[in-house]
Amino acid sequence: MRRGGDMTQPILSLRNLTAAFPTEDGLKEVVRNISFDVAPGETVAIVGESGSGKSVTSLAIMGLLDKRARVSGQVLLDGRDLLGLPEKQMRQVRGNDIAMIFQEPMSSLNPVFPVGDQIAELLIRHGQVPRDQVAAEVLRLMDRVRIPNAHARIKDYPHQFSGGMRQRVMIAMALAARPRLLIADEPTTALDVTIQGQILDLIKEIQEEQGMAVLFITHDMGVVAEIADRTVVMFRGDHIETGATADLFTGATQPYTRALLAAVP
Ligand code: ADP
Ligand code: MG
């Protein structure tokens, strides 16, 4: 959860973010006029059912949307608009400022390299750790995300890890860049409930320790209650409402938000 920090300058501000894809019937908007801020150290959730535009929003922030997409509005990182930045500069933003984890860790892991090498490569690429300390830092990160017996496991390949452990590897890789903002797109959706809770606890713990901001995407209001200071509700591409999570649970103004809440056990 958020701990102080400079409230005057958000780390991330979306202003009327809109995204459309070309179809046979012309451009189809799948995200319309999304505007919200994420303060340093804050956890903001985006919640909405499948197809509501959550992943498109997060990919647009990262500059990772399909080239055919038409994106407008602003994605301000420390006040600087990322939309339209050259790819080379976007790669720097992704390497240094914002990290992302996904529902399916296998999609970001290379199956033919041991996980220790993949974490090491990131540390070398981002150049924040002297060469002779990379091996020690890999171990520290794997310990940090509580991969048991990390010393032995650095040589294991991604398929040798369970789903929950692979997500821990992904979190270790995300932390390698020492990002100020972590975007987590349904990182616990593919995991069973016990493991889900452990991964959420890990993200919260690391966030509190490092003061990192988190944009957490989920379709699950139970997860929102667990993790988010504030919550953005999306429905079919529209931004329905934003509020302090606690206020949404006690007094959501929009019927759609109330319907989502009714689904929480
Ligand atoms: P969510 O993450 O909330 O489940 P998405 O952001 O993935 O939803 O998708 C929102 C809408 O955008 C969906 O209707 C989806 O089919 C559409 N969409 C996503 N990516 C593309 C793409 N590359 N080309 C065309 N349509 C897309
Ligand atoms: Mg999605």
Residue nearest to atom 14 of ligand 1 (CA): 51
Q: Is the CB of 52 under 6 A from ligand 1?
A: yes
pLDDT of residue 137: 95
Residue 7 above 60 pLDDT?
no
The end-to-end CA distance of the chain, in Å, is 23
Mean per-residue pLDDT for 9-32?
Answer: 96
Q: Is the CB of 41 under 6 A from ligand 1?
A: no
- Cα–ligand 1 centroid distance for 93 (angstroms): 23
Average pLDDT, the chain: 92
What was the ipTM of the complex prediction? 0.99
Within 10 A of 235 (CB to CB), how many other CB atoms are there? 19
Mean per-residue pLDDT for 206-225?
Answer: 93
Q: Is the CB of 132 under 6 A from ligand 1?
A: no
User: What is the pTM assigned to this prediction?
Assistant: 0.93
Residue 241 above 80 pLDDT?
yes
Locate the ligand 1 atom nearest the alpha carbon of residue 19 and give its number. Answer: 12
Per-residue pLDDT of 64-98, as tens digits, reads 999 999 999 999 999 999 998 999 999 999 988 99
Q: Is the CB of 23 under 6 A from ligand 1?
A: no
Q: Is the CB of 51 under 6 A from ligand 1?
A: yes
Per-residue pLDDT of 127-184, as tens digits, reads 778 999 999 999 999 999 999 999 999 999 999 999 999 999 999 999 998 899 999 9
Residue type, 127: G
